[in-house]
Structure 1
Amino acid sequence: MLSLSRAWAVMSKEFIQLTRDRLTYAMILVMPIVQLLLFGYAINSDPRSLPTAVLVQDQGVMARPVLSALTNTGYFRITVAANSQAELDRALARGDVQFAVVIPADFSRKVVRGQAAEILVEADASDPSAVGGAVAALAGLPGQALARELTGPLARTGRAPPFEVVVHRRYNPENITAFNVVPGLLGIILSMTLVMMTALGMARERERGTMEALLATPVRPLEVMVGKLTPYVLVGVIQAALILVLARLLFAVPMSGGWLALSLGLLLFIVGSLALGFLISTVSRTQLQAMQMSFFYMMPSILLSGFMFPFRGMPEWAQVIGTIIPVTHILRVARGSLLKGSGVMDSWPSLAALAAFLLAVGTLAMIRYRTTLD
């Protein structure tokens, strides 16, 4: 027969145990709040105020109203005034801007004469979802941009729009989603396996007591880290190579070059992920805690890195958090190398961020590591 007093005693014991496991208790309270904030505020599938570079070769009176109308759509934010086409290309290749706009030298003259005037808009379509809304907004630009200027004798009532917007989608002209997602999986898959594998492996040794034998030896923290992580580095390299081969064979992802930048980025990311797993293992006492902390790291890595949602569609505070996450930078390196052929010089900001993450996390892991049991 059910005894309420005994059931109450067991329930009280579980509550006490839960409060003693502070990490699990914190996860229970923090995770719903973090999910609510991320999904409610940070996720936006229709990014606006996208950084745009402009090259104005026309000195006439029609160029400035077009740029003003472009900005008024809300999708474009002019951040770079280029002096040459090469400068525009570099800005797009580095990912500094999402769009590059060229107004040719004869634009105003052709508009006034009623000839076929054009402006060129080049879009970084490596992430199709990031540019879809902005490209759609360009359709109404010719009919609105010069409405005030084309009055009186210049009025074009009943005639075609005064100019045409020619859109070039670069790096992914066919808007194939796999070209964006599959390179991004390099970072996600490596994070999920390497961080969790290392954290659980070290926590398992602690639970089984085999850590005591290791701690009794004169092995130094750096030597332990190198010895523990080196086999997993090879695992990460094999995983990365497998993903790249399958990306080419199954999804026809373009391999545009930039192999040196990609190799360096992957090496930094793999070692950094393993160092993070090592750090998690020094904080957690059980495999359950290690798994909880690994999942807590993975959620913002997937949502704030630009893997699932456009990075520039997030508010500034979310972009700051996303910039700290190493997955963000390996995604930029992978997509830049595979889709754009970006080299080390184009990818150096992300490579430097990955190196800084490795240095910081590795140092913390060695500090946290104890040569004697607590």
Structure 2
Amino acid sequence: MTGLSLNRIWAVLTKEFIQLTRDRLTYAMILAMPLVQLLLFGYAINSDPHHLPTAVLVQDHGPMARSTLAALAGSGYFEITEEAATPAELDQALALGRVQFTITIPADFSRRVVRQDRPQILIEADAADPTATSGALAAAAGLPAEALKRDLVGPLARPGSGPPFEVVVHRRYNPEAISAYNIVPGLLGVILSLTLVMMTSLGVTREYERGTMESLLATPVRPLEVMIGKLAPYVLVGLVQTALILTLGRALFDVPVSGGWGALTLGVLLFIIGSLALGFLISTLARSQLQAMQMSFFYILPSILLSGFMFPFRGMPGWAQAIGTVIPVTHFLRVVRGALLKGLGIGELWPSLGALTVFVLAVSALAMARYRTTLD
């Protein structure tokens, strides 16, 4: 047994570097993955979101009410985007997710402040994601002591008499701020993405590597028939995973099920089919199972970080929210959480269901086009 040879080691090392530079996709992933992680964690992720959309119902337009709204906006957490005319409009804006908070100022607010009756204002929060609302509600707790300092001067001053009004907070859809109510429905989208996209891309790419796809290409089977035949078993896998997660979420974590079964079923089917079609598309682009796995992770990582699963969606900057809106997991999570926690139906969730439909059609068309190119 001879000793180590630096020349032989150098030869093998040179060969590996040459092979790495020839595999351009792998080389790009090596450079792109840390860059993407740095940008996402450094700029996009924020666990204490500010400027959250807020709808208000102002029944008193006196100076005290205006000062209170100005103090809310000045806190940096509340951004008034809608002004409702009725309580029903407030409920609808909160349920559909257009706003994170609703604020109601009663008709006699200013008069009761002057009379030292300590009136109440109501703040309702969409607490389906407790992390997104905790900072804003903590800031609202100090509002009564600070909001009217400039108004209650002179004859209206009352030192030592306590706050001039009270803030009543209602946490909707998750009143106890239990994180499992938000995490468990979100896990459904992440797990389906991890398993279905990766299983499909690796499975089809494996057939290319082993040569069995060449035998299939020699048959008169059409591309759409190949795609349907290969993906159909995984649809059942996805449905079994969905049933298992929802059942265990209810049994172990007591995740509420408010209804919305029609929207939930349609959303699950669209997302499963779209994820499988995406995996099939990746298999037509990858030349090895390693590349297929790398490309799958390149899709899954933003899906976890930018969809609102781990971090509040509205806490991200505008450019990150724009990217997150394109990711199908974002819309799937809105469907699942909206159906389970809020009881929303197809009519209320049609924007997200429509986005999932576009995702399925676009990815399926691209996969078919790529597969026909492979046939040629």
Does the TM-score normalized on the shorter chain lie above 0.5?
yes
Task: Output the CA distance in 2 between the equivalents of 1:129 and 1:89.
Answer: 21
The within-5 A match list for 1:271-282 is 271-282=273-284
The within-5 A match list for 1:20-39 is 20-39=22-41
SS in 1 for 2:63: coil
Specify the alignment match of 2:332 in structure 1. 330
In the TM superposition, what whole-angstrom CA distance separates every residue of 1:22-57 from its partner, at most 9, and x where no partner exists?
Answer: 111111111111111011001100000000000001
Contact 2:270-2:357 at 8 Å conserved across structures: yes
Specify the alignment match of 1:266 in structure 2. 268
Shift of 1:201: 0.5
Contact 2:284-2:374 at 8 Å conserved across structures: no
Give the TM-score taking structure 2 as reference length: 0.98
Amino acid at match of 1:138: A
Q: Please, which of 165, 180, 183 is the counterpart of residue 181 of structure 1?
A: 183
Specify the alignment match of 1:240 in structure 2. 242
Specify the alignment match of 1:121 in structure 2. 123
In the TM superposition, what whole-angstrom CA distance separates every residue of 1:226-255 from its partner, at most 9, and x where no partner exists?
Answer: 111111111111110111111100100000
The RMSD of aligned alpha carbons is 1.0
SS in 1 for 2:47: coil
In the TM superposition, what whole-angstrom CA distance separates every residue of 1:270-298 from its partner, at most 9, and x where no partner exists?
Answer: 00000000000000011111111111111
| Larger deviation, residues 61-70 vs 41-50 | 61-70
Verify: 1:304 aligned to 2:306, yes or no. Answer: yes
Contact 1:275-1:358 at 8 Å conserved across structures: yes
Specify the alignment match of 1:366 in structure 2. 368
Task: Output the CA distance in 2 between the equivalents of 1:329 and 1:59.
Answer: 38
Verify: 1:85 aligned to 2:92, yes or no. Answer: no
Contact 1:215-1:371 at 8 Å conserved across structures: no
SS in 2 for 1:62: helix
Task: Output the CA distance in 1 between the equivalents of 2:77 and 2:337.
Answer: 23
Shift of 1:159: 0.9
| Larger deviation, residues 149-158 vs 272-281 | 149-158
Specify the alignment match of 2:352 in structure 1. 350
Specify the alignment match of 1:164 in structure 2. 166
Amino acid at match of 1:283: L
Q: Please, which of 284, 287, 295 is the counterpart of residue 285 of structure 1?
A: 287
Contact 2:284-2:367 at 8 Å conserved across structures: yes
User: After TM superposition, which residue ranges in structure 1, 4 or more long, deviate above 6 angstroms?
Assistant: none
Task: Output the CA distance in 1 between the equivalents of 2:375 and 2:272.
Answer: 28
Task: Output the CA distance in 2 between the equivalents of 1:232 and 1:174.
Answer: 37
Contact 2:122-2:170 at 8 Å conserved across structures: yes
Shift of 1:218: 2.2
In the TM superposition, what whole-angstrom CA distance separates every residue of 1:88-126 from its partner, at most 9, and x where no partner exists?
Answer: 111111111000000011111111111121100000000
Shift of 1:370: 3.1
Task: Output the CA distance in 1 between the equivalents of 2:311 and 2:139.
Answer: 20
In structure 1, list runs of 5 or more residues that go unmatched. Answer: none
Contact 1:268-1:358 at 8 Å conserved across structures: yes
Task: Output the CA distance in 1 between the equivalents of 2:18 and 2:375.
Answer: 25
Shift of 1:223: 1.7
Shift of 1:258: 0.6
Give the TM-score taking structure 1 as reference length: 0.98
In structure 2, list runs of 5 or more residues that go unmatched. Answer: none
Contact 2:260-2:344 at 8 Å conserved across structures: yes
Contact 1:216-1:371 at 8 Å conserved across structures: no
Task: Output the CA distance in 1 between the equivalents of 2:130 and 2:352.
Answer: 21
Contact 2:55-2:102 at 8 Å conserved across structures: yes
Specify the alignment match of 1:97 in structure 2. 99
Specify the alignment match of 1:48 in structure 2. 50
In the TM superposition, what whole-angstrom CA distance separates every residue of 1:37-82 from its partner, at most 9, and x where no partner exists?
Answer: 0110011000000000000011322111111100000000001111
Task: Output the CA distance in 1 between the equivalents of 2:110 and 2:338.
Answer: 36
